C-alpha cells in the first residue's frame, strides 16, 4: 500500500511539473523557438519525376521535431522525449499546417497552391496537376515553441502543351 501511495504522489508531482513547465509558453507568446527548443525537420518529395503535363503530381512529406529537446505546441508538450521511442531521434508532429507553394522555371515569384494539415502521425500528402517544370515548396511556418522549417523539390514536366 505504501508503494502505491508513493507512486500516486510521484505521478501527481510529475503532472504538476508538466503543467508548471507548460505555463511559460502560454504566458509569453513571443518565445523564440530556437532558444526554447523544438527544432523541426520537414521532409518533402514531389513525384513522379519527370511528370507528364496534365497528370497528377503527388506532394508528400513528414514533419518532425527533435526528441532530445523540450517543446510545447498548443496543449501538447514533450519533455525530454517522453513520447519518443527508444533510440528515436525525431518525433513526428501531428495536426500542423503545411503551406504548399510553386515557382515555375524562369519566374521569380512563388505561387500559393494549397494549405494542408499533417495527419496525427505527422505525414501529409496532396495531389496537384502538373502544369510546367518548376520548384515545389512545403513550408511549416512554426508554432509556439516550434521553429519553422521548409523543403523544396524541383520537378521536370514533359509532354506537349495543348
The per-residue pLDDT string of the chain (162 residues; one tens digit each, 9 = 90 and over) reads 444 444 333 333 333 222 222 223 333 344 454 444 578 899 999 999 999 999 999 999 999 988 765 555 554 555 543 446 556 678 888 899 999 999 999 999 999 999 999 998 899 999 999 999 999 999 999 987 788 999 999 999 998 765
Give the per-residue pLDDT at 69: 57
Distance separating alpha carbons of residues 132 and 142, to the nearest angstrom: 29
Predicted TM-score (pTM) of the model is: 0.69
Amino acid at each position: 500500500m505504501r508503494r502505491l501511495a508513493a507512486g500516486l504522489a510521484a505521478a501527481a508531482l510529475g503532472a504538476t511539473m508538466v503543467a508548471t513547465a507548460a505555463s511559460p509558453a502560454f504566458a509569453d507568446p513571443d518565445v523564440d523557438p530556437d532558444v526554447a527548443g523544438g527544432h523541426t525537420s520537414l521532409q518533402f518529395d514531389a513525384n513522379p519525376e519527370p511528370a507528364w503535363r496534365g497528370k497528377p503530381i503527388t506532394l508528400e512529406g513528414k514533419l518532425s521535431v527533435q526528441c532530445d529537446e523540450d517543446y510545447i505546441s498548443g496543449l501538447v508538450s514533450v519533455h525530454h522525449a517522453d513520447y519518443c521511442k527508444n533510440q528515436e531521434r525525431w518525433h513526428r508532429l501531428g495536426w500542423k499546417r503545411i503551406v504548399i507553394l510553386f515557382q515555375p522555371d524562369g519566374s521569380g515569384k512563388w505561387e500559393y497552391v494549397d494549405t494542408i494539415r499533417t495527419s496525427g502521425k505527422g505525414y501529409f500528402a496532396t495531389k496537384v496537376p502538373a502544369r510546367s517544370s518548376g520548384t515545389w515548396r512545403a513550408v511549416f511556418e512554426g508554432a509556439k515553441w516550434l521553429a519553422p522549417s521548409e523543403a523544396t523539390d524541383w520537378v521536370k514536366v514533359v509532354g506537349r502543351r495543348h
